[in-house]
């Protein structure tokens, strides 16, 4: 008999959970407080990036974060009031800024990234998903010799510890590889294992696939808690009435802490605000997706458009669009690219990334109810980790052997 599973959250992680649960034979309903796929999964830069194994918390990150409090146009911005109000999270981050914890987090992150990279190929093949997928790699670009030379240490670490090599290009070779760059860049590193896609196209395709599998989608339906009997949830309390369930998956991203009381634990997630600007492809469009490492800005050339994104702003649950943060994106593109912008601008966007202080997501059962699974806190990598998370959730719910070790994602680590 099919089990009734309610997935709370209609972003890429929730959608992937719903997919693998439905494929396992469960009767799945997805609910979301807004529209399906309209949150942080909508207009990010679309990277599927096994190269991004290193966590945000790393040696030296404390000093870098402190400097943002006094630097006007830093790509990383922490409002002092937010830091003081959430001191436990920021102290937890500070404790993780060491080599041992960085390596442990990196291995946990890599397991999901590598699995998802393979699963994306299977998903696209099996479900005929059209999402402007390209597997050209991801090119890190450095403006100054100092930063280019310094990155050699990171490159060596990734090669040695994570078997994640990159191709190194000096200034002249980089200019040949990517003619859209202005001349005189110091160099770059190309991660050939990486890919990119258009996120809104992916979410539209996942919606099509889920509906074909019989998954019910309920939009503008906010969850507020659970009806619990004998240590198990029997229903989800929502803004549109109770929804009966045999199992619940909480994939609510940055909103997860608002369910802490219902979950019976403190899920340490902070909303990290990211921005993007989407426009038509410029006349001289980059061939590769690019990361301007010194400015922390990313550029993605889609088949149907062009997006500049990134920055990180810890501003709490502030719903305003900060135009100064958008300007950081376009200003950085002008530094590196011959033809950085095109018009008209199609979308100016922001979204809350669900940031854990150790950069590792939570994929575990909630203390309040044995049949409630939390799948949240994927930081800046929800798209890259979505399929592996969905498959792992279906395995844990079905009490099957997990395809990756679930231990590193436990709530008990906090």
Tens digit of each residue's pLDDT (9 = 90 or more) over 206-229: 999 999 999 999 999 999 999 999
Provide, rounded to the nearest whole percent, the portion of the chain with pLDDT above 70.
98
- With 70 as the cut, is the pLDDT of residue 66 above it? no
- With 90 as the cut, is the pLDDT of residue 326 above it? yes
- Of the candidates 38, 342, 307, the one whose C-alpha atom is nearest the C-alpha of residue 197 is 307
DSSP for 215-265?
-EEE-S--EEEEEEETTEEEEEEETTEEEE-SEEEE--GGGGGGGHHHHTS
**Which band of pLDDT confidence, cut at 50, 70 and 90, is reported for residue 1?**
low
Q: What is the mean pLDDT of residues 303-314?
A: 94
Residue 342: partners with Cβ closer than 8 Å, 6 or more residues away: 279, 280, 281, 282, 283, 306
Distance, CA of 110 to chain centre: 13
Cα dihedral value 234, 238, 240, 244, nearest 10: -10
Q: Quote the mean pLDDT of the chain.
A: 95
Tens digit of each residue's pLDDT (9 = 90 or more) over 72-110: 778 888 888 898 899 999 999 999 999 999 999 999 999
Q: What is the mean pLDDT of residues 196-206?
A: 98
Q: What is the mean pLDDT of residues 238-250?
A: 97
**Which band of pLDDT confidence, cut at 50, 70 and 90, is reported for residue 39?**
confident
The pLDDT of residue 10 is: 97
- With 90 as the cut, is the pLDDT of residue 383 above it? yes
> CATH code at 292?
3.50.50.60
- Paired with 347 in beta bridges are 278
**Which band of pLDDT confidence, cut at 50, 70 and 90, is reported for residue 67?**
low
- Paired with 300 in beta bridges are 307
- Of the candidates 93, 60, 65, 62, the one whose C-alpha atom is nearest the C-alpha of residue 78 is 65
Residue 306 structural domain: 4-413
Interatomic CA distance for residues 314 and 79, integer angstroms: 6
- With 80 as the cut, is the pLDDT of residue 179 above it? yes
The pLDDT of residue 240 is: 97
**Which band of pLDDT confidence, cut at 50, 70 and 90, is reported for residue 68?**
low
| Total domain count, the chain | 1
Q: Is the pTM of this model over 0.75?
A: yes
- Cβ-based burial of 9 (10 A; exposed 0-12, middle 13-18, buried ≥19): buried
Tens digit of each residue's pLDDT (9 = 90 or more) over 108-118: 999 999 999 99
**Which band of pLDDT confidence, cut at 50, 70 and 90, is reported for residue 259?**
very high
């Amino acid at each position: 008999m099919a089990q009734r599973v309610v997935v709370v959250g209609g972003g890429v992680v929730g959608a992937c959970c719903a997919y693998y649960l439905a494929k396992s034979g469960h009767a799945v309903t997805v609910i979301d407080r807004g529209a399906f796929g309209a949150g942080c999964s909508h207009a990010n830069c679309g990277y599927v990036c096994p190269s991004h194994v290193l966590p945000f918390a790393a040696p030296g990150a404390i000093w870098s974060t402190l400097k943002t409090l006094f630097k006007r146009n830093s790509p990383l911005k922490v409002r002092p009031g937010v830091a003081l109000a959430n001191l436990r999270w920021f102290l937890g981050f500070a404790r993780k800024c060491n080599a041992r914890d960085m390596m442990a987090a990196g291995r946990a992150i890599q397991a999901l990234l590598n699995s998802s990279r393979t699963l994306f190929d299977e998903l696209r093949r099996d479900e005929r998903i059209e999402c402007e997928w390209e597997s050209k790699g991801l090119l890190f670009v450095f403006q100054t010799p100092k930063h280019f030379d310094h990155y050699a240490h990171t490159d060596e670490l990734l090669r040695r510890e994570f078997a994640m090599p990159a191709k190194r290009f000096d200034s002249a070779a980089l200019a040949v590889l990517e003619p859209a760059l202005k001349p005189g860049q110091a160099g770059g590193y190309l991660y050939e294992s990486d890919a990119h896609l258009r996120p809104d196209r992916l979410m539209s395709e996942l919606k099509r696939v889920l509906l074909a599998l019989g998954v019910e989608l309920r939009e503008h339906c906010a969850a507020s808690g659970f009806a619990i009997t004998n240590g198990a949830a029997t229903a989800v309390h929502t803004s549109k009435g109770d929804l009966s369930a045999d199992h619940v998956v909480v994939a609510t991203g940055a909103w997860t802490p608002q369910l802490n009381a219902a979950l019976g634990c403190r899920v340490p997630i902070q909303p990290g605000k990211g921005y993007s600007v989407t426009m038509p492809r410029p006349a001289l469009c980059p061939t590769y997706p690019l990361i301007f490492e010194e400015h922390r800005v990313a550029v993605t050339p889609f088949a149907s458009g062009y997006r500049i994104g990134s920055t990180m702003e810890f501003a709490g649950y502030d719903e305003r669009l900060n135009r100064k943060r958008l300007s950081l994106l376009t200003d950085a593109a002008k530094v590196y690219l011959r033809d950085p912008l095109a018009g008209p601008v199609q979308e100016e966007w922001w979204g809350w990334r669900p940031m854990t202080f150790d950069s590792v997501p939570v994929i575990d059962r909630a203390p309040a109810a044995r049949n409630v699974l939390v799948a949240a806190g994927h930081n800046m990598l929800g798209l890259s980790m979505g399929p592996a998370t969905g498959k792992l959730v279906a395995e844990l719910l079905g009490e099957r052997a997990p395809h990756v070790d679930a231990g590193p994602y436990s709530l008990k680590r906090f």
